[in-house]
Chains A and B, each alone.
Chain A
Amino acid sequence: MADPAASGSVDKSVQVKLVLLGEAAVGKSSVVLRFVSNEFQANKEPTIGAAFLTQKCRLEDRVLRYEIWDTAGQERFHSLAPMYYRNAQAAVVVYDVTKATSLEKAKSWVKELQRQANPNIVIALAGNKVDLVQASASSPGAPSSSESEDEADDATATPGENPGSSEPESLRQVPREEAQAYATEAGLLFFETSAKTGEGIVDIFTEIAKKIPIEHILAATRGAGGRPGAAGGRAGSQQEGAVNLDATAKPKDACNC
């Protein structure tokens, strides 16, 4: 552990590839933009059309560096490349609480992940657009739940059950309990979120961070040529055999020696 470059955990963040899935227009990109721009307030807007977005997430003494992949529309005609799932350690499957079919679609994505992806992948189900079904007065009440819990299930008792529920709640097509029950059964983290208000967004990523087997990733990175994420290899690229084309190519351009 004397060699800081070799220890990985000390000053290098753990890289985690996270993929987004969900039906079109449920707000996948908005969820990520909300998450990423929250911490980068002062910075320029994240580039649309970036290969992937990155965001750090602090967790006790560890820093996770999420490498977040958007589908780039390739899911629309069932043309998502296998490369998309490869090495993903986490997935956020998004549906729209005002659209019942989007939960069905989310379920099929979860199946697809279980079929295609790394068996240890941490999957979170996010019911987005929850702002649309909250009476505006009550909106700040529900969330802010999951700060330190393992699961966020007991926090918001029943935002949808208020008898006086006015028009907003009638937009809801997916009862929270139904989605929660499915998530529990399928072993998923579950959140209701609003990319618009920010509700629940950071929670998704911190809860995923808690559940990710970091030690496992570190071990794999140091071990036999495994790359944590796509560009991966930040920590792992130096080891025998594995090559990071950019890393090696660039100094060469720069100093020409």
Chain B
Amino acid sequence: MNDEEDATFDIIVLGTGLTESIAAAALSKAGFNVAHLDRNEYYGSGEASLSFDEFIKWQDKPQPFIRGASRSGDSIEQARAYSISLSPSLIPSTGPLIDALVASGVSRYGGFRLIERVCVYEASGIVKPVPGSKEDIFKDKDISLLDKRRLMRFLMFTAGDFEDKKELEGHADSPFPEFLKTVFSLNEEMTDAITYALAYCLSPTDPTLPALHRLRRYLRSAGRYGASPFLVGHYGSSGEIAQGFCRTAAVSGAVYILGRSVNEETISSDHQHVIQLNNFYGRLTASLVIHGSSSATLHAAVVPPPQALSAPFSASSPNYPVARGVAIIDRPLSLGVPATQFVEGEEAADAPPPPVLDTAVVVFPPGSLPNGGSSTAPATALVVGEGTMSCPKGKWISTPTSTPPTPRARPPAPDPRTLYQPGALPDARAVLQPYLDAVLALASPSHDADATQPPTPLFSTFYVQTPHSYVSGAPSTDDEPGAREHLAPVPLPPVFPLPDAGDAAAVHAESLFWEAVRVLMSARGGGEGEEIKSMWPPMESREEEEEDFS
């Protein structure tokens, strides 16, 4: 096709966020004719990885769910060498996203790196590495024998099938820190570390069961690729991964049109969706349209993720705004004693330890900052360096994030479709500056003799991301012809526990995929065509790859 001709597809996907990109890749691989569109010039929608200049451009343009940005600095050297993530997150080494990456072959496009260190910030102003293994716990001299035993008991409980255990009885919904203290008699310090730096709870009131589910997944992730349970992708992670899925879709024949917005969408007399893009002459027709969560208006049948899986990914994800920050610094963090190296395989056992920390997470439990910071909400700061290909040598990107609870922002029963009421937006800089300062104070001393001061960021910005003000076209449109062939994933909340955003996207993509397959098959009149049995067909080009390898 060219941009002068009309073209017909099975399905049109709007938006190239991770969810839509995974779904598009799977649908294209399954043999459906896919057109994948994005009004932005870049891939990844709200999860994009942007170069420095693109990021500034992004920030200067009004964005649907972004408010109150402030920043210092508009330029930086080697601007192209940065990949700034709009949705910084970690990837657990086992889970739906990793499964999708491997099964689809997209893992071959991208590079990944283990998180080297997770530290928890304690009220005393010191940081402590979070133990990554039983061994770490045994070796830790700061933990009393009794506490070690309690901690081990809790970890054994969590790693096992806790669902029917008596310890959980009556506590599934109680706040997780309370559960840790009352049921496992863990002290304050350990409770904080477990709640925020192992289970990545977003508030002290997070319910116990989802937190346990998460923690179990993370515990089981440790050791797959190294001691750390978490990975981060190269080049800004999620945005690059989205590009990988899009390429996979394209390789299977999907058509990509970026940088054009939808001018008009109509339903033809034969129930086809007809989309007219701006600056694009031809019209696109399809029997099904998927609206990504970043495309604004719609009357779509919202596809919820499968019930069984939903608990781990969304139950504790609040639908209130998140304060985000991005800072570029030129000194690495120095986070105390080296933890045990992440290498378990023999090959790398004798590799020298990394000279400087490339990737780290600093977790701030509520009230851990003596001056400033929230007393009720935790904050995290992900730091990535050159090894993640996200910034040039000698630079690090730190992304502090916090979800300060705002008045009446938390609905009693979280409903992802609730329209967020603006008016109670936190001031991102006020919320995050203390955390950024604390991170900067952890930077290694400069080589300059007189520079004992914490480094000044070369660039910093703060902004607020609000939940999608997403109004679902009342589900009562079921009888309206055509309305059924219009799908949208449940919009993801703006913030997840740090390691969960990608898995949530993968889970949502899978339910979108199956729903789309169902609709498309019935549109074809059933019977015709093969039945689709799995989301990712076995890969064919495999042997060729191996053969060359040996």
Residues of A near any B CB (own CB < 8 A): 5, 13, 46-47, 49-51, 54, 56, 65, 70, 72-74, 76-79, 81-84, 86, 116, 224-225, 227, 230-234, 238-246, 248-249, 252
Greatest chain A CB density within 10 A among B343, B386, B387 is at B387
Q: Which residue of A lies closest to B250 (CB)?
A: A72
Q: Which residues does chain A contribute within 8 Å of B243, judged by CB atoms?
A: 81-83
**Quick check: B113 and A74 within 8 Å, CB to CB?**
no
* Residue B235 lies at the interface, judged by CB distance under 8 Å to chain A: yes
Q: Which of B101-109, B147-155, B262-270, B414-422 makes up part of the contact surface? A: B101-109
Contacts of B98 in A (CB 8 A): 245, 249
A78-B348 contact in complex given A72-B250, A243-B113, C-beta closer than 8 Å: no
List chain A residues, Cβ under 8 A from B341: 240
B256 touches A245 (CB 8 A): no
- Decide yes or no whether B129 CB sits under 8 A from chain A: no
A247 to nearest B CB, angstroms? 9
Q: Does B485 touch A at the CB level, under 8 Å?
A: no
Q: Which residues does chain B contribute within 8 Å of A76, judged by CB atoms?
A: 2, 255-256
Q: Are A49 and B111 in contact (CB under 8 A)?
A: no
A81 contact set on B, CB distance < 8 A: 43, 243, 246-247
**Could you list 18 A-B pairs, sorted by A, with CB under 8 Å?**
A5-B347, A13-B548, A47-B541, A74-B256, A83-B110, A83-B235, A86-B235, A224-B386, A227-B234, A231-B109, A240-B341, A240-B348, A243-B114, A243-B231, A244-B112, A245-B107, A246-B108, A249-B224
Q: Of all chain B residues, which has the CB nearest A52?
A: B108
Contact A49 B253, CB 8 Å, known A83-B109, A242-B387? yes
Flag if B258 contacts A54 (CB, 8 Å): no
List the 8 shortest-distance A-B pairs measured between CB atoms, nearest first.
Answer: A72-B250, A245-B107, A231-B108, A79-B256, A79-B258, A81-B243, A225-B387, A83-B243
Q: B184 an interface residue at 8 Å Cβ cutoff? A: no
Residue picked from A13, A78, A233, A243, most chain B C-beta under 10 Å: A243
Q: Is there contact, CB below 8 Å, between B250 and A74?
A: yes
Residues facing A in B343-392 (CB within 8 A) are 343, 345, 347-348, 351, 353-354, 358-359, 386-387, 389
Residue in A70, A232, A252 whose CB lies within 8 Å of B224:
A252
Given A77-B257, A241-B387, A83 and B240 touching (CB < 8 A)? yes
B244 pairs with A83, CB closer than 8 A: yes
The yes or no answer to B503 lying at the interface (CB within 8 A) is no
Taken together as a complex, chains A and B put the C-alpha atoms of A234 and B107 apart, in Å, by 13
Assess whether B247 is in contact with A77, with CB atoms less than 8 Å apart: no
Alpha-carbon gap, A72 to B245, bound state (A): 13
Chain A residues, CB < 8 A from B389:
86
Q: Which residue of A lies closest to B51 (CB)?
A: A82
Size band of the interface chain B makes with A: 35 or more
Nearest residue, chain B, Cβ from A232: B111
Chain B neighbourhood of A56, CB < 8 A: 548
Chain A residues with CB under 8 A of B42: 82
B545 at the interface (CB under 8 A from A): yes
Contacts of B250 in A (CB 8 A): 72-74
Can you name the residue of chain A whose Cβ is closest to the Cβ of B544?
A54
> B168: shortest Cβ distance to chain A, in Å?
30
Asked whether A248 and B224 contact (CB < 8 A) given A51-B105, A74-B250, A240-B348, the answer is yes
CB distance from A211 to the nearest CB of B (A): 22
Task: From the candidates B234, B251, B347, name the one contacting A51 in the complex (CB within 8 A).
Answer: B251
Distance from A13 Cβ to chain B, minimum over Cβ atoms (Å): 8
Q: Which residue of B225, B253, B386, B549 is within 8 Å of A245 (Cβ)?
A: B225
CA A131 – CA B102 in complex, angstroms?
42
What 0/1 readout, one digit per residue, does chain B (35-71) give for beta carbons within 8 Å of chain A? 0000000110000000100000000000000000000
Q: In the bound complex, what is the Cα–Cα distance between A230 and B111 (angstroms)?
A: 7
Q: How far is the CA of A204 from the CA of B405 in the complex (A)?
A: 61
Identify which of A65, A79, A230 contacts B109 (C-beta below 8 A). Answer: A230
Closest to A253 in B: B102
The answer to whether B259 touches A72, judged by C-beta atoms less than 8 angstroms apart, is no
**CB-CB < 8 A to B548: which residues of A?**
13, 54, 56, 65
Nearest CB in chain A: distance from B191 CB, A = 31
CA gap between A224 and B114 in the complex, in Å: 14
The smallest C-beta distance from B280 to any residue of chain A, in angstroms, reads 8
Contact across chains for B354 and A241 when beta carbons are under 8 A apart:
yes
Are the C-beta atoms of A51 and B387 separated by less than 8 Å?
Answer: no
Determine if A239 and B351 form an interchain contact, defined as CB atoms under 8 angstroms apart.
yes
CB contact under 8 A between A77 and B111, given known A50-B251, A239-B348 = no
Q: Which residues of A contact B287 (CB under 8 A)?
A: none
19 further A-B contacts with Cβ under 8 Å, apart from A51-B247, A65-B548, A243-B111, are: A49-B251, A54-B548, A72-B247, A72-B250, A77-B260, A79-B257, A79-B258, A224-B386, A224-B387, A230-B110, A231-B108, A232-B111, A238-B347, A239-B348, A243-B112, A245-B102, A245-B107, A245-B225, A249-B98
CB-defined contacts of B461 to chain A, threshold 8 Å: none
Inter-chain contact B224/A227, CB cutoff 8 Å: no
A241 vs B353: C-alpha distance when bound (angstroms)? 10
8 Å CB contact of A242 from B108, B113, B247, B256: B113
